[in-house]
Amino acid sequence: MNLVVDVGNSFVKLAVFRADELKEKRIVAHKTLLEAIKLLKTEFPLLKNAIISSVGHLTPVQIESLKADFKTVVLDSQTTLPFINAYTTPETLGVDRIGLVCAAVKQFPNKNSLIIDAGTCITYDFISHKNTYLGGAISPGLSMRYKALNNLTAKLPLLELSQPEDITGNSTAASIHSGVVNGVINELQGTIAQYQNKFSDLTVILTGGDAKFLSKQLKSSIFANSNFLLEGLNYILQLNSNE
């Protein structure tokens, strides 16, 4: 069995896989990571292999503890991957983006695929039907846009995500919601359209923390999968394990 450790900026996602089947998923704080893994080991004694994908920070003690308990892959630009990487700066490519592309390779082989991860940032990653990763784009996510309006202006308030009632906001709050949410929706639809014009038979996958909110409003035919990154990381671990 495999353990996936996806370390984000705010928390850590833990996932247990038996082959391709997701058996358990938990979200824990960074400081409670080792305790949470100890509990998982008790519940799933067949856990043997682990992969660490870190866009946040683990302490050396946490990393060494994982390596002591599991046959561990620390995902980086040198890890064996199931695609050709045409990114000109592979050492700067986020491990989360690598994991998402691997999931697309696994689930949609030999397809032109655009993976959109709507989280803190919105990332776009494209892999061709020739199994070549070409790159993508990065833009501010929903929460970042709300925070930027508050942080970089003198009087605009910090608001929580909310569906705008109308494109024309009749108050400052309504105007912010319209600008942020409709701005992101139009960005997504426009980007998808650009890719569809350039690449035939495009498969679009939407994932990330804001995927559920956004998927209800997108006109394009997309696959929404909140576990897409975890599945991709598990696939990488399978490729890099001898068993």
Binding residues for K(+): 117
Q: Cβ contacts of residue 24 below 8 Å, gap of 6+?
A: 14, 15, 16, 40, 43, 44
181 backbone dihedrals φ, ψ, rounded to 5° = -70, -50
What single-letter DSSP state applies at residue 157?
P
Give dist(CA 101, CA 99) in Å, integer: 5
Binding residues for ATP: 6-13, 120
Q: Cβ contacts of residue 225 below 8 Å, gap of 6+?
A: 205, 206, 207, 211, 231
Which residue from 5, 45, 40 is spatially nearest to 24, judged by alpha carbons?
Answer: 40
* CA angle, 40 then 41 then 47, to 5°: 110
Query: Residue 96 catalytic?
Result: yes
Binding residues for substrate: 87, 94-97, 172
Q: Which of 20, 69, 76, 96 is catalytic?
A: 96
Binding residues: 6-13, 87, 94-97, 117, 120, 172
Catalytic residues: 96
